[in-house]
Structure formats: structure tokens, C-alpha cells
Structure 1
Amino acid sequence: YFFNEEAFDLLDIFRLSRKMIDQIHDSLFGKIIDENQMRIEIERLFPKPGSGKNSRLRIMEAGAIAYYHTQTEIPVVPFLLSDNGPEYKRITEEQGLCWIHEGRSYKKLKPVVPLYQDEVDSFLTRYWDYYEKLLLYKDNPSPEMAQSLSIEFDQIFSSHTMYDELNERIAKTSARKSELLLVLKYPELPLHNNMAELGARAQARKRDVSLHTITEEGTKSQDTFMTIAQTAKKLGVSVYKYIKDRISRKFEMPSLASLIPQIKTSPKIIFDSS
């Protein structure tokens, strides 16, 4: 954790009280501290157990983000794709949004009037047709195509229908144009993080069944096997055969790491998973 000027700017943005910010400034300004030192500082600021839950989190976030931006051991990611979660907004300079996550908002519309149902179905067809054009752009980007897609976005998401709730949803998507079309600037950026979301849900389901781990070793073991299982699933590899191959030390199957650069997600996989 690093409490430099950026960290204190973040604390202001997070709306921590001025009194609390001043206390942190007096004790930590300009300092880099580790996890144990951070825990001690948090306990000093919040001596009552369980108090200031959100403030504790914001203080740690500010210090962690500031340290991440100043460290040189790993590259600082300039842009990131997310589902618009607020916890990601300060990590990178630019943030793209997931098209599948955005599309789910339209699926949540449940009109009972047949005319409105047709309006939603018709718009979703235009939505996914446009998505396929973005996939084509990623394979062969050009300034001309980027401009054309930007204009088409405005045309689609300025549409007006007979269904007011659909119109409101369209307006919200229109307001997110810069984030949804960040791919026009960075063609290497994915259009969705659906597989990451499904992986996170798998871990949540595991937690529902097994509750929490007891030891640090148990946590590492669980995380390792969940990572192997979800990565194998994304690559189309049988996790059972893969683990058997590794345990038996036959090593007849290629490593998952060597397969990752070869994978390319097709539109069919994306639509099915959504």
C-alpha cells in the first residue's frame, strides 16, 4: 500500500471524512506499507471491532491502487474490460464494458403486450447483428470501419420504440458509448467477459456447497483446482483426463498454458453462454 497524493485524491473521491483523511495523512503520507502494517493502521483508526466497514475497505483500496500505479515489477494495465462494477473504475485510465452484460439488461424486459414483445425482439436482433460487426472489426480493424461503426451505434441507440421501458434501456446504453466502443480504439480488447463471470459464479456455487476453507493451505488448494477446472473448461479440455495425465506423470496432454494463446472464442459460444 502506498499513500501518496493519488491515494489521498482517491480518499476524497471515496468521500472519507476530512478528519479521517487528516489522521491517515499524518501517519502514512509518503509511506509504503505491507499487509501487516496496513492491518495495524486500520485497527488504530477503528479500535472498535466491526466498525467502519466501508471506510476500512476504501482506505485499503486507495493505498493498493496507488501502489499498483507506481510499482514497476509488473506492467500497469492501461485499459480494462468489466461489467461496470465500481470497484474497477479507478484501476485503469480507460474502461471498456461487456456487451453480453449489457445485452442481459434487455433480456430482463418482460413485456406482456405482444407489440412490445415484438419491439424487444426486433431491437435485440439489431443489437446482436451490430455485435457481430464489432467481431469482424476486431479481426480486420481500420479507421474507416471504426468511423462507420461509431455512426451506426448512434443510429441504433437513438432508436425510439412504442415501448417506454425499452426506450429507457436504449438511452442507458447510448450513454455508455465510449466504454462499449473502446474496442474501436483497442481492437485487442475483448467484447465480453462472460467466461470470467461464469468462472466467478462457479466459485460462488462451490462456496455455497462447501462453505469456507479453514486453513490457508486449504484456500490455496481450492483456488488451484478451481482455476485448473475452469481453465480446462474454457479450453475444451477434460479436467479429469488432464489431472490424471499430470498425476500419472505421463504428460501426454499439452499444458493448459500452452493452449491459451491458441484459443479463439466464436460468436456461437458467446451467444450460447449468454
Structure 2
Amino acid sequence: MTNSSPLESTHPYTLRGVRQMLGLTRHAVSKLIELGFVDPSRGPGRALRFSFRDVVLLRSAHDLRVARIPTRQILRSLRRLRDTLPPEVPVSGLRITAAGDRITVREENAQWEPDTGQLVMDFSVAPSTGSVSFISQRAAEPATPESDDLEDLFETAEELEASDPTAAEDTYRLILEQDPAHAHAYLNLGFMLCEAGRSREAVALYDEGLAHCPDDPLMHYNRAVALEDLGRVAAALASYEECLRLQPDFADAHQNAGLLYAHAGQKQMAIRHFSAFRRLQPRV
């Protein structure tokens, strides 16, 4: 018998396993990691490895993003939820329910209510042949044809990015016509525009997106990167600072801001951000 490594024992779930378990695309998982909702470990070959807590938080974060809960509120809520979760899925299962400004975690006869802010979700976690199953506690409201169509369009746009960028751009813009608050469509399209050297268009797109999603730190970050490409240093720094106001532990934003402040000769601000960046690096 081959003994599992300590990492495999504490972080038994691979990226592929998490995607299959939760029904999320690689893009969705990556975005949730970038936004700081989870912080998976790295296994051999730097492959991502997820703990039980990571899996529950990914499911929660995804549901709340779909419900258009502000990112800052989700981060605050999930940090408190994370502190209450056991390291492994209990044999008896786990129920997480949230409504209004209360979240309740129930395991067998035990129940606790961390202060998490306003959330809307209701699901259970149960052991299933060594994995985790998510069980709906109530009949889900049927999705409207429009929402189904948008999800299909979004997946189509992602698939087209490599083979037909023009068609991908048209598809993302079609999504935004139907749902002007679709943050992921803004993020993907804006990244494509920057990669194509169309940073000015990307900034305009992000400005439009922030009018509908003002609390999305990743959009502020991407806007800052596009502004850097245009040489608009002051505006880029303002966007990095807004990103960090919404998500203070966004390490890349600290690093980029530090570099810009250093080039601008603002040594104290540069030191502040570089120090924050170093504190946020994982300890080996």
C-alpha cells in the first residue's frame, strides 16, 4: 500500500475533481482564486490541491457571485465561514444555510451562526465514497431561458477565444447587451482587448463594467493594468488603490502599485506596497 503525502491528506481534491464535483469551468475556478475566495496549495508540478474547506468556499462563492452579492461582502462572509468549518467533511454531513444577515452551520445536533453579512444560499455537504456531494435543500427555481442562454453564450465565447477571437468578442458583447452587469464577460473581453493592443478600448469597457459592478476588485485591477499600458500612471495607481480598498490581500495589486510608485519616485508608498506584497506570499 502506498501512503499518501501529508498534502494529499489535507488537500485531497485536484482541480479536475473540484470542477467535476461543483460543475464549474476552469475559468470560474481561476477567477474565484484570483479574487481571493480560496487559497489552494501546490502539489507536485505545482498542480493545485484543494482542501474540504476550499471546496465548500468555492461552492459558496460561486453561488453568491451568481446572486450578484458584492465581492467585498462575499469576502468578509467567507472569511468568517472558513473559520467555522471543520478540516474534513464530517461523517454525518454538514448543512450551510444563509438568509438575510445570518448564516447557520449545522452538523448533527450542533448549530452555530457566525456573523457573515447578507447572504442567500441553502445547501448541504455530505460524504460520498470519499468525495463530497452537494445536496439541494429545496427545489431550485427553474432558470429562465435567458439565463440559460447567457451561460451557454459565455462558454461558447471562452471556447472561441483561441480559435476565433473576433467571434469571441462579438459573443461577449452580445452577452453584455443582454446582461450589462455580467462581470466575467467584461473581464474576459477586456483581457482580450489588452492582449490585442487595444488597451484604450479595454479601459472604456472596464469603465462601463464598473458602472454596473463597482465592487469588483478584479475589474479595478484589470483596468489599472490597461491604464499602465497607456502610460496613465496616476490613473492606474488610483485603480490599484481602489482594488486594494475592496480586497486588501490582492498581492499582485500591491506588487504592481509598488513598482509604479517606485518609478514615480514615491519611495514611502512603494515600500508600503512591497511590504504588503511580501507579507502575503505563502510561507514555504
TM range (shorter): under 0.3
Give the helix-richer structure, 1 or 2.
1
Give the strand-richer structure, 1 or 2.
2
Kindly name which structure, 1 or 2, has the bigger radius of gyration based on alpha carbons. 1
Give the TM-score, by structure 1 length.
Answer: 0.25
